Every structure is written in C-alpha cells, then in structure tokens.
Structure 1
Amino acid sequence: MSKTLEKQEKPEYTGRYLVLLPEGSNTSDAISQISSISGLSLKSSLEFENEFFTDQDLSKTDGIVLDKLGIAIVNEKPKMENAIAGFGENEMIVEKERVVYAIGMVDESTQNYVEGYRDAINHMTSALVGPELEEFDYEDQQAEVESVGATWGLKATNVVPTSILRYNPYNGTGIKVAILDTGLDCNHPDFADRDITHKSFISGESTQDGHGHGTHCTGTACGPLSSPAAAERYGIAYAAKIFIGKVLNNGGSGGDGGILAGINWAIANRCEVVSMSLRGLHNGTGYSAVFETAAARALAQGTLIIAAAGNDSSRPGTVRQVMHPANCPSIMAVGAIDVNMRIASFSNGGLYPTYGAVDIAAPGVNVYSSTKLPTKYASWNGTSMATPHVAGIAALWAQASGLRGINLWKKLTSTAKALSLPARDVGAGLVQAPAKNRFGPFEGFPILRNPKFPIDPITPIEK
C-alpha cells in the first residue's frame, strides 16, 4: 500500500453532476421539475431500502435525488449538458462531481525530514530573536501522555485522564457514528462483537476494507476498550453503534456523489456523528455550495459532519489551504498536532477569513490504531488520523450532554484546550473529552469551614 498520494495539479472530475435543489423542495416535485426542464428521469433515494444504493443502481437511471439533503446525483448525458442553463433559471445550482481520495498517510522518513528542517529553522530563529514565550510546559505534557495503558492521543484529549482526580464514565452508548471511508476489515478480532451496520456504495466491492485506511480511522473513533493483541488502548467511543459506509474503493478513491449518498444514508439512520478522512484537491478561493448546503441541512437534522483538513502542507515553508469538502463552513475541519503539542508539518491551515477554517485540532502524528489483516495494528500520521479522534469524542459528548448538530459542534469547540499556536492551524484548540471529578463534596452536605478563619486570607482579621 502506498503511503503517499501523488499531488495532483488540479481537481479531477468523474463526468457526473450534482444538482442542489432550492431550499424546501419536495423530492417528488423536484423530480417532476427536473424532468420537465431536461427530460431526465430521476429516482428518489426513498425508493431504496434505508435510502441505500450503489453506483450500479445509479447507472440504471438518469439520476437519484437524495431525499435528506435535497441534492440530485445526475449521470453524464447530452440531455444534462443541454439542461444546465435551465436548472440555473429555476434556482438550482449545478456542480461537477469531483474525485476524492482517502487522505494519504505521511511516511515516517518524510515526516522526520520535514520536522528536522522545521526544528532547525526554529532553532535559528530563537538564536537570532530569542525564544517565544510559551503558555505550556511541553516536556511535562509529553511525560504525561507517554505513560503506559493508552495511546498518547487518548491521554492528551482527556479520553483517558492522566490525573487520578478525574475519570471518564462515557463510552458512546446509544450514539451512532458513521465512518465514510474505505470500509472496515470485518475479520479484525477487535470488532468481532460490536454492533456494526455496513453498506458499500462502491459497485463490485463489499465493505471489506482492502486498503486499511478505513479500519484505522474506525479503530480510533470506535475501537475497543481493551484488546488482548493491541499494545495499548486506542479506541474512544467503544460502546457506540458503528455505521460503516464504504464510499472509497480499495484503491482509496471515490466520487462526491458516493460521499453525499453516504451522508444521506447516515442521516436516514439517525447517526449523530459522521467522520470523513478524505479530500478532493481544491485550488483557489471558494468552496462547494452543494456540500455546504448538505452539511448545513445535516446539522439541522442533528448530524455533525467532521472532516480532515488535508496533508498538503510542508511546514514551515509551505502552508496549504484546507481542502474539499472540509473547507465548507458547516463541516468541522480538523488539523493535526504531535505529542509535543506542535502543529504537524503536513497539516493544512485556514487561509481565508470567512471560510476554509481549521475548526479544531487533534492528535495526528504517530497514531496507533487497528488496520486490515494481517498487519492488524499500525501507527500512522495524517489529518486522517486526527479526524476520528474528534468524531469519537463527539460521540462521548453527545452521550454526556444530549446535544446534537450545531450545539454539539459548539460544545466541542468551547471545551477545547487552548494551545499556543495560531488559530489558523488549530482553530479552537485541542479537542477534549468530557470527564468527571473522582472526589468531591457529596450532594446535600455543606462544605464546612473553620469560622475562626476568614474565607479571604488577604482581608485583615478584625479584632
């Protein structure tokens, strides 16, 4: 398996189209309207069980309207080419369907080279202008997260509190998490007894993960509390219901339409969280109106979409923009940090003031998790690895607070740990899981104070 993806100079397209229907459109009325404009015969996703369909189903018709999103996926046909202007006149937005990829893992030699270059630059800068004032003691932080029992990422994000005074009683019970990726290795022993619903949106391929990327992301978000074979605990929401949507093939690629179909399927199944460690190349300004509307409509229905910012940077020299579809304002974009609480050299940044922001950060360097057999476990780098940390923690917060959609988003960002890094790179900060105090006053019992001593020791004692 290649650990890096060849950089493409420009976005790639499949030949199909995405049609965004006007707000409030009824699916059956939209199908009739599209037919009258173009002569195309479309189906509704409601015609398929649980709104699940594949490319093969799509090829048997002119297109399919995603009922929960108000978006049509339309095949490339002369009728469609001739109808685009008519769609615009009827307040419909048409976009070409892009090719998207599982975000490539950054290999260790490249990571070490870039980090060495970064550290040399930082050392030279420090020698010339003096060190920057730091808010945190990073050596203490690293010592905390390197203790045994769980991955450094789970400790840094408070999934496994490092203080004896805190504990985490949450495990994702009752929460549905959708992982839209390359599938899951269904033979992996760590998922043998889990509640898993799986569908493949790739024609000719089952949900069995022939790539490994999807199994790694699923492991971080929803892996087990413990495993006899794993070196340490790596899973977060270990009691959540897992929904595997295979939207990328075994080579790691797919199309926008399959991802939107996966989102629609997740909403139809009332998934509270959708995790997407994938990206399509985006050059220049702007973002997809189709994906932005899909994400906003998902939030309104109680589903939070979380996506990887991308691995296209080569810091400190080059910082690339957040890629599609994470650059949409209504999709939570995740950047990657390392164990020293520094931004990962490959992590993309928010370069525009009103969109394309990094909203939050999570561990994305040397992340240990499950992968396809026979390898079973691996440590990888990437914003792909950071994203499922946020997804798993979102499931814990959904369980702990009962919040959904935009309110769940606000809970994640409001509880994030501030970092002494630019918001361009880490957004609100490092994602943090909910936890409780292990010791404290019992309810109904007042805290007793010695009346001979003042509550404020600065105030002079009156004679």
Structure 2
Amino acid sequence: MAKKENNNSSNGANHVSSPVEELLLAALERNDNTFETGRYLATFKEGVGEDGTQSLATQGMRVADARDFSDQAAILENIGDADAVVFPEIGVALLSGNAAQERNMSTFAEIASDSPILSIDPEYFVFADNTYAEFLQSGTAQTDQSASSEFLRGFLQATETITKEMRGNGHSQSEIEEEVQVLGATWGVRACRVPASIRSGMGIKVAVLDTGFDLGHPDFLGRPVVGATFVGQPVQDLHSHGTHCIGTACGPRTPAGTTPRYGIGFRSSIFVGKVLSNSGSSVGGSVLAGMNWAIANRCQVISMSLGGPGGPHPAYTAAGQAALTNGCLIIAAAGNNGPGPTGAPANSPTIMSVASLDSNLQPSSFSARGKIDIAAPGRDIFSSVPRPVRYGNKNGTSMATPHVAGCAALWAETSPNMRGRALWQRLQATARRLPFPASQVGAGLVQAP
C-alpha cells in the first residue's frame, strides 16, 4: 500500500534542528503507523556530493554542512534555521519536511535524470535493536495504529524513568551484577578464539554508534576515548546498551578481581558516537550524522547495534559504500525479530550484517534471517554496564555485533592493507563454518586472528 505524504506544516516539528522528542510528539499528533519523522533524506549520486549540495542551495535552501563542525561531529539541534544539512563523507543530506515539500522534493517527486540527487526518501525513527524488536514481535507494528502511537508515547516517558533508575538504586533484573567465582573469559570471547590471539587492536579506531558510554567506568580508565553526541544529550550513557556493546568490542584483557575477560580489542582506540538517546530512540539523520563522523575520522571499524523499519535504504547503502571506499567497515545487528527478515541498516548490501548464536553455537531463536553475512555470540553475554552496577548480561544481535567488531579490530591490526572490503572478506573467509543455512549464520562464527 502506498504511503501517505507527511504534512507537518501545522506543527512545525520537522525542522532539521528538531530534537528527537519533538519529532516523536509530532508523530503522535499525526497518528499514523509509518514510523516516518516528517523529514526527508536526499542521497546524492556517487562522486557528485558538491554538485548535490549546490543543487539544494540553487533551490533556495539554507544549507548547513557537517564540515562546519569540529571533526564533522554535526549536532542537528545546533543547525539553527537551516533547511538542510549535508553529510559530505557519505553523500547524504537531511531535509526539513516543509522545505522539501515546498520545493516538490518529497518522497514521490520525480527526479530529473541529470540531477545529482539519486533518491529522496522519508527519514524514519531508529531504536536500540532490542527495543525495536520487542515492538515488531508484538504483531501490531503494521496493523494497529494505536499500538504504534503507544510505542512512540512510551519513548517520551522512558528518558525520565531510565535516568532515575540509573542514578538511583533500582536496576532491571538483566543488569544485576553477577558473582563471578573464577578467572577466565566469557563464553562468547572464548568461542571467537580471542584469548589465544596475540593481537590487541593496537592502532585501530573502533567507533560504536549507540546510546553512549559510561565515561567513568573503572575498567576503561586511562584508555583513549573520543566522544561525540548526535542527539543533543551528553555522551554519558544513561541507558546501558552502548556501554555493554563497547565493553564487548573494546573491553580490558584483565578486568579487576575475579571478573572474567569480556572484551576483545583491549588496546583499540574507542570512538563513542551517541546516536541513540537515553531512551534508546533516535532518527535516521542522527544515525547518519554519526556514520559520517566515524568515516571522517577514518575509524577502521564501525559497530552499530540499532535498527529501524524498511530498507535497504539508499542513504545507509551510500554510507556503507563510503566507508568501504575510505578503508572503513560498518558492522550492524541483523535484528531480533526472528524468523523475520534482516532490518535496516544491516540489510544494505554495503554493510556487514550479524546474526546471533547461543552458547551451543546454534542460531538464536530471536535472530533475524535473510541477508546475513556472519554470526557471533549473542545470548547471555556478560559485559560492562554503567556504574554503579558495572557488569551485566544482555541478549540480542546487538550483543553479537560488537564481537564481530572486536575481532575485526584484531584483524585490522595484522596489516595496513586489511581495511574495508578486504577486512570484510577476511572475516568471512576465516569464520568457523556451521551446519546451518547462510540465511541464518552467513559465513559462520567469527574468529579472531
């Protein structure tokens, strides 16, 4: 069924600088189930980014550029009254809803063959992978408008609740600190053959685009960390999803006390891109801004445990290709809506998608199927979470993804030529083969060098 065009002229909440919460409120007022924000993404044809930017200005748009910000860390809330913001590394522009519609540049507009613009598509809301899957598995995502509204409404209340829990004494059962009695390594790290590797990720930049990071976590003191936010909130993680993913990809080799080794690239440089808010919600523009930043900083490994509807989306595909062209590799969670199909952005052909395995090395029941490139441990994964809890277990393809990212950092350390597409191919070529279809596990279980 064709999607209706969004018309937000009455609420004025589709500006480039509109915060996530304002866009969520506007979506509730529209009362539809498209998960569209009301803004648009213009993807330029490869190699014509400057012409694409000029074409927007020619049509009278006030255009901001990520290069106007230090290290291209473009904070959308600081864009001001711009009608569009361009992410030059990936060749994508985020357009204000009203400005785009006034110039007939919305979803169903015809694009001239000689235009530098490849496509114009709606911007969608994006969520921490586990959260979005919970809604999809409710069976109401495509059929019940009220359920869609309630889902969005929940995110407006979540930030305050999460903040209180993390600052107080209440914590969810899944994040209660575990009593670890013996030294060693987690089952996931062992399954990936990490302890036997002589590699540490030294000299490799690993960007984790998620809910941020607990910058004061004692296991990471003294580590080089570069942080940037793309959702108008401090990088400090008040959700825990991001800290858990960073722990797996980049955590220490020998945590204090009897805590087992849970991290892989223990000497890699950590780049924290906060593209999801403390409620675990975001929008495509913020995620793309984070991808643009990570590529601009030439992070050889970019890990993304998040998802949204539809796809493959041209903007994500362009970002994935830009990463490969610049010696970077984007690795993304396939999704927890199994046996449903791989979600966005992992379903883009230029982004490596990761499925989840249980400790018996069988596909997790929740793991998405279809476009799967590789698999990794994703159930009962022990890693870091924000203080005061410090450690906890989580499940999901979100947890599998940083296992691949960490191993990718170790492989990238082996040679300066092990970058981009070559790194992707090496990860697949060295994966442990499993007796399951490629649509469930891809090339198999990721292995460290």
TM over 0.5: yes
Name the aligned partner's letter for residue 198 of structure 2: P
Q: Secondary structure at the match of 2:219?
A: helix
* TM-score relative to the length of structure 1: 0.76
Shift of 1:249: 0.1
Q: Which residue of 1 aligns with 2:204?
A: 175
For 1:242-281, what aligned pairs fall within 5 Å after superposition? Answer: 242-281=270-309
Q: How do 1:82-161 and structure 2 match up within 5 A? A: 82-84=103-105, 85=109, 87-89=111-113, 90-92=115-117, 93-104=119-130, 149-160=184-195
Contact 2:38 2:97 in 1 (8 A): yes
Distance 1:152 1:247 in 2: 29
Q: Which amino acid aligns with 1:15?
A: G
- Change in Cα spacing, 1:22 to 1:106, as seen in structure 2 (3 Å) is closer
Q: Which runs of 5+ in 1 are unaligned?
A: 1-8, 108-145, 161-166, 314-318, 351-356, 435-463
Taking the aligned partners of 2:265 and 2:72, their CA distance within structure 1 comes to 26
The alpha carbon displacement at 1:16 in A equals: 1.4
> 3-state SS of the aligned residue for 1:150?
coil
Pick which of 392-401 and 221-230 moved more.
221-230
Q: TM-score, normalised by structure 2?
A: 0.78
CA-to-aligned-CA distance 1:200-240 (integer Å, 9 cap, x gap): 1111x100001000000000000011111562000000000
1:17 maps to 2:32: no
Cα deviation per residue 1:185-204 (whole Å; 9 max; x = unaligned)?
Answer: 1121111111000011111x
| Counterpart selection for 1:61 from 82, 94, 109 | 82
1:26 CA displacement: 4.1
3-state SS in 2 of match to 1:305: strand
| Contact 1:181–1:213 (CA under 8 A) maintained in structure 2 | yes
User: Corresponding residue for 2:396?
Assistant: 382
Aligned-residue RMSD, C-alpha: 2.0
- Aligned partner of 2:150 in structure 1 is none
Q: Could you tell me how far apart the structure 2 residues matched to 1:86 and 1:414 are?
A: 42
d(CA) in 2 for partners of 1:417, 1:158: 10
Specify whether residues 431 and 147 from structure 1 end up closer, same or farther in structure 2 by C-alpha distance, changes over 3 A only: farther
- Of the three residues 357, 361, 364, the one matched with 1:341 is 361
> Of residues 212, 216, 224 in structure 1, which corresponds to 2:252?
224
2:183/2:258 contact within 8 Å kept: no
Instruction: Letter of the 1:411 partner, please give it.
Output: R
1:86-134: CA deviation from partner (whole Å, max 9, x where unpaired): 6555252101111011112799xxxxxxxxxxxxxxxxxxxxxxxxxxx
TM-superposed CA distance for 1:75, in Å, is: 1.6
- Does the 8 Å contact 1:31/1:65 carry over to 2? yes
SS in 2 for 1:307: strand
Match of 1:113 in 2: none
Counterparts of 1:156 and 1:235, CA distance in 2: 13
**Matches of 1:388 and 1:11, distance apart in 2:** 30
Matched, 1:287 2:312: yes
Letter of the 2:381 partner, please give it: V
Answer yes or no: is the 8 Å Cα contact 1:11–1:280 preserved in 2.
no
Indicate the residue corresponding to 1:322 in structure 2. 342
Over the matched positions of the two proteins, sequence identity in percent amounts to 44
CA contact (8 A) 1:360 1:426 kept: yes
* 1:67 positional shift: 1.1
Q: For 2:222, which of 193, 205, 212 is the aligned residue?
A: 193
The structure whose Rg is larger is 1
Listed as ranges, the gaps of 5+ residues in structure 2 are 1-31, 134-180
Question: Kindly tell me: are residues 50 and 338 of structure 1, through their superposed partners in 2, closer, same or farther at Cα, counting changes over 3 Å?
Answer: same
**Number of residue-to-residue matches in the alignment:** 365
Q: Is the 8 Å Cα contact of residues 212 and 235 (structure 2) preserved in structure 1?
A: yes
For 1:75 and 1:417, the matched residues in 2 are separated by 46
Q: Report if the CA contact (8 A) 1:101-1:248 is conserved.
A: yes
**Which residue of structure 2 lines up, in the alignment, with residue 415 of structure 1?**
430
d(CA) in 1 for partners of 2:286, 2:305: 14
* Residues 1:325 and 1:59: Cα distance change in structure 2 (over 3 Å): farther
Match of 1:51 in 2: 72
Q: Please tell me whether the aligned partners of residues 86 and 94 of structure 2 are also in contact (alpha carbons under 8 angstroms).
A: yes
CA–CA distance in structure 2, aligned partners of residues 157 and 11 of structure 1: 39
Q: Aligned partners of 2:356 and 2:302: how far apart in 1?
A: 18
Q: Return closer, same or farther for 1:228/1:79 CA change in 2, 3 Å cut-off.
A: closer
Structure 1 residues 225, 183: closer, same or farther in 2, change over 3 A? same
Matched residue, 2:382:
368
Matched position secondary structure for 1:97: strand
* Distance change in 2, residues 1:11/1:275 (3 Å): farther
Which residue type is aligned with residue 201 of structure 1?
F
Rounded Cα–Cα distance in structure 1 between residues aligned with 2:97 and 2:220? 39
2:396 paired with 1:396: no
After superposition, the Cα gap between the structure-2 partners of 1:187 and 1:51, relative to the gap in structure 1 and judged at 3 Å, is same
What are the within-5 Å matches in structure 2 for residues 72-91 of structure 1? Answer: 72-84=93-105, 85=109, 87-89=111-113, 90-91=115-116
**Could you say which residue in structure 2 is the equivalent of 1:34?**
56
Q: Which amino acid aligns with 2:331?
A: I
Once the two structures are overlaid, the 10-residue window that deviates more, 225-234 or 255-264, is 225-234
Name the residue aligned to 1:141: none
Aligned counterparts of 1:417 and 1:255: Cα–Cα separation in 2: 35
Q: Given that residues 131 and 280 in structure 2 are in contact (C-alpha distance below 8 angstroms), is that contact kept between their aligned partners in structure 1?
A: no
Cα distance change of structure 1 residues 331 and 11 upon mapping to structure 2, 3 Å threshold:
farther
> How many Å separate the matches in 2 of 1:148 and 1:349?
35
In structure 2, do the counterparts of structure 1 residues 106 and 382 end up closer, same or farther at CA, with 3 Å as the change threshold?
farther
1:425 aligns with 2:440: yes
- Aligned-partner Cα distance in 2 for 1:267–1:294: 9
When residues 287 and 341 of structure 1 are mapped into structure 2, their CA distance, relative to the original with a 3 A threshold, is: same
Query: Which residue type is aligned with residue 44 of structure 2?
Result: L
